[in-house]
Amino acid sequence: MDTNKTTNPFLFASILTLVVSLLLSLTATSLRGRIAANIELDKKKNIIKIIGVDISKMTAEDIVYKYKTTIKEFIIDSKGNERLDLSISDLQVTKNKTLGSFIYSYNDELFYPLYKSSNVIIIPISGKGLWSTLYGYFALDINDMNTVKGITFYQHGETPGLGAEVDKPWFQNNFINKKIFDENNNLVSVSVSKGKSGNNMHAVDGISGATVTSNGVTKFLKMTLNNYKPYFNKSRE
């Protein structure tokens, strides 16, 4: 290439930009499937974790096998009826960008996914924190649909040391054995207090310095549980 010509450096830069863009595009395309598979694996890992499985030494194959042998997937309609004619994979999933919640639908009808083991029912939860949308799962005792058995988050972008404390055992363990219904059978959910929750069976200790994240968890947890209220009521009758 004749570098004495004034147009040649611009031509070279254009070609280089094109080549780099092409390589990046090919790399992203080749990794897309692997990224999607890793996300699905992480979801399965958190679902079996919430039922009490020790995942610390499990391989990817172990996690998939344990999930397949212990977890049943199913969906319910807005009236709380289990729909055996549809599966989670049949649903169209869209995101409410304002609330950070997922909308599951089929032929313009709303549905709600559930996961079940021998002793717990597991509900996907999501909503806005301070900086990000938090995605996770919430588990209830299958026998009373009231006693909390666990909570876990598999994705968020909250501040380390503050809102990111939602990942820590001290925060998640506080939910265990809390109740989502009060003595009058009203669904009150479990709120994240500004300070210590004391003996409140419907609240857990807050995260110091992370008021917005705490309020976000309180808000989207109750909002999500209300979607499943008809199913809870049918199961509790």
20 compared with 235, residue with greater pLDDT: 235
Pairing of strands 120-128, 203-204: unpaired
Instruction: Give 216-229 pLDDT, tens digit per residue.
Output: 999 999 999 999 99
Q: How far is residue 17's CA from residue 10's CA, in Å, rounded to a whole number?
A: 10
**Beta pairing partners, 112:** 76
Neighbours of 226 (CB within 10 A): 12
Q: What is the pTM of this model?
A: 0.82
Q: How high is the pLDDT of residue 82?
A: 94
Give 31's pLDDT tier (boundaries 50, 70, 90). low
Instruction: Give 73-107 pLDDT, tens digit per residue.
Output: 999 999 999 999 999 999 999 999 899 899 999 99
Domain map (residue ranges) of the chain: 71-236
Q: How far is residue 135's CA from residue 148's CA, in Å, rounded to a whole number?
A: 18
Q: How far is residue 120's CA from residue 142's CA, in Å, rounded to a whole number?
A: 5
Range with the poorest average pLDDT among 17-21, 25-29, 153-157? 25-29
Q: Taking Cα atoms as reference points, which of 220, 216, 222 lies closest to residue 187?
A: 222
Distances (CA, A) of 218 to 45, 78, 129: 24, 22, 10
Q: How far is residue 88's CA from residue 19's CA, in Å, rounded to a whole number?
A: 41
Average pLDDT, the chain: 87
Q: How high is the pLDDT of residue 5?
A: 56
Q: Taking Cα atoms as reference points, which of 223, 213, 179, 221 lies closest to residue 197?
A: 179
Q: What does residue 81 show for φ and ψ, rounded to 5 degrees?
A: -90, 135
pLDDT at 207 over 90: no
Neighbours of 19 (CB within 10 A): 10
Q: Taking Cα atoms as reference points, which of 220, 218, 210, 214 lies closest to residue 95?
A: 220
107 contacts 91 by C-beta, under 8 angstroms: no
Listed as own residue / partner, the contacts of 79-84 with beta carbons closer than 8 Å and 24 or more positions apart are: 79/230, 80/228, 80/229, 80/230, 80/231, 80/232, 80/233, 80/234, 81/231, 81/234, 82/231, 83/111
